[in-house]
Structure 1
């Protein structure tokens, strides 16, 4: 009898625990006392939708205490089921509200699902952030190489955060603007004299268009003089011209040597022909003497 009573009591406790798990009355009471009205049936159905009702209740209480009243439990459930970071979204909405920034739950959820840190983005929007641009090397028109370092102060553009370009795009655009300004300077002294002119020109080009940031200022932190590229190019050109002149002189010398050798060969050929002709004279005289032509000619000359 006692065993049956204990078994019944145990089953009753298990049943009550199961009912309380499926129907979280304690969470419903906590929400009610916190001023958040959530349907008890909705809390029970969250179990079947694999949504932790404790998370939703806590986030609703947090949002309500911060004055965020336009967020529904359905929106929170959807964002959680999409593997979003619900706590970061609610905290971002709280910070945005305190800073008088316009941001809806839909915007914050979209930023979070896009893979960006929505809470950090709101913090950067409230407190400007400095982007350090790596050393940029430019060349002025007089051939002097200049190395500039820039600091870009930005804040988050909430409306462009989804689909907008990131920090690397800002660095690339600022670097391109600095190179363009240095390249337009007649001498490197112009750049060294007024480095703020680079900042003004680059800032006026609207380099933050299509990015997730709004550029507040561009400051040239340092400018160093690099190599004299113009002089180096002139020296290289002079060496190239010298090598070309040497090559042409060597070509002319080779032609002269070849011509000299050709003339020497012609002289040797002429000498050979002369020697050959000289060897033919005695033979001709001997033939004429034997034929009597030589004596007849002599006698005719005597007459």
Structure 2
């Protein structure tokens, strides 16, 4: 019975040690004490209950204290509970301190919670970044296309990192400035001869307003000549005018064909009436003979006149055919 009681007490002692070691990170507390950073044991226990890993707070606190920064445990813990990256914020504050950049803890924490890399922003304030724009196609006044690619040197603006526009806005504004500058040039040759005019004009427009960056310079990396847009537009206009003229000509041709068919129909109708009238002539002559209005000799005289007329027509046609034959023979000779 005594042995069972001893084992039970020993197990309780082991459980107490495990819970004590979990609630109170003695090694971390000793490290902070050795570094000259005072962190109470109850503060570490409170971090455990608030589900804050003590190492995420104590290690950056030691780092900040060694760098000469005045940061409290409550500030770091509050930033961690808000979802921020404590170690990155402390590294950014140390880098800003070394670069003589004014960056309070509250602003660094706000930048980090806004989703921006505050350490990278501090590094960009020290070492500016070069942003290369895609090829921007613009058309000069003479109708020649000019393709421009630029390099924009920017520096992070710490004061405008929260709520400021990003790199995409810088690229879009620079592209818009290039298009307007080239479009206002009288000739593409002026752009090729003086490309720095584009950079100066675009830089004077203050394109970095409302952004998280400060534009230091805009350098034209490449300028190429593209298509002749003016000539292409004129060609397209000429083709359109040609199609319109062809459509109108086809309309006039269709109207002429319709009129011709109408005239042919009218001629055929007149011929039918003539044939019908000629068919009435024999009937009228027979009626005149029966009534005695036309004599037999008169009828024979009229037939002789018709025969004589037909013979003269045949002689005239044969004469014309012979004259045409002689002219053809002369032409062959």
Q: Could you state the TM-score of these two structures normalised by the residue count of structure 2? A: 0.80
Distance 1:265 1:41, change over 3 A: same
- For residues 177-192 of structure 1, the aligned pairs below 5 Å read 177-192=177-192
In the other structure, the counterpart of 2:45 is 44
In the other structure, the counterpart of 1:258 is 258
In the other structure, the counterpart of 2:226 is 226
Provide the rounded CA distance (Å) in 2 between the counterparts of 1:167 and 1:238.
43
Provide the rounded CA distance (Å) in 2 between the counterparts of 1:21 and 1:290.
150
**1:185 positional shift:** 1.4
In the other structure, the counterpart of 1:172 is 172
Provide the rounded CA distance (Å) in 2 between the counterparts of 1:186 and 1:154.
30
Q: Does 1:113 align with 2:113?
A: yes
The aligned length equals 295
In the other structure, the counterpart of 2:143 is 143
Unaligned stretches of 5+ in structure 1? Answer: 299-303
**1:28 positional shift:** 3.8
- For residue 136 of structure 2, give the secondary structure of its aligned residue in structure 1: strand
Provide the rounded CA distance (Å) in 2 between the counterparts of 1:75 and 1:251.
86
- For residue 94 of structure 1, give the secondary structure of its aligned residue in structure 2: helix
In the other structure, the counterpart of 1:288 is 288
In the other structure, the counterpart of 1:301 is none
**1:162 positional shift:** 1.5
In the other structure, the counterpart of 2:302 is none
**1:12 positional shift:** 4.8
- For residue 123 of structure 1, give the secondary structure of its aligned residue in structure 2: helix
Provide the rounded CA distance (Å) in 2 between the counterparts of 1:227 and 1:145.
5
Unaligned stretches of 5+ in structure 2? Answer: 299-333
Q: Which runs of 4+ in 1 moved over 3 A?
A: 1-21, 23-30, 292-295
- For residue 135 of structure 2, give the secondary structure of its aligned residue in structure 1: strand
Provide the rounded CA distance (Å) in 1 between the counterparts of 2:130 and 2:76.
33
- For residue 51 of structure 1, give the secondary structure of its aligned residue in structure 2: coil
Distance 1:280 1:7, change over 3 A: closer
Moved more, 18-27 or 225-234: 18-27
Residues 27-68 of structure 1: CA deviation (Å, up to 9, x unaligned): 444333423233332222222112222332221111111111
Residues 142-183 of structure 1: CA deviation (Å, up to 9, x unaligned): 111111101111011111112211111111111111111111
Distance 1:289 1:40, change over 3 A: same
CA RMSD for the aligned pairs?
2.4
Provide the rounded CA distance (Å) in 1 between the counterparts of 2:255 and 2:11.
119
Residues 91-122 of structure 1: CA deviation (Å, up to 9, x unaligned): 00000111111111111111112222111111
- For residues 7-22 of structure 1, the aligned pairs below 5 Å read 12=13, 15-16=16-17, 18-22=19-23
Residues 224-259 of structure 1: CA deviation (Å, up to 9, x unaligned): 111111111111221222222223223323322332
Provide the rounded CA distance (Å) in 2 between the counterparts of 1:144 and 1:198.
16
Q: Could you state the TM-score of these two structures normalised by the residue count of structure 1? A: 0.88
CA radius of gyration, larger in: 2
Provide the rounded CA distance (Å) in 2 between the counterparts of 1:98 and 1:78.
25
Provide the rounded CA distance (Å) in 2 between the counterparts of 1:9 and 1:271.
138
In the other structure, the counterpart of 2:207 is 207
Moved more, 35-44 or 154-163: 35-44
Provide the rounded CA distance (Å) in 2 between the counterparts of 1:236 and 1:28.
81
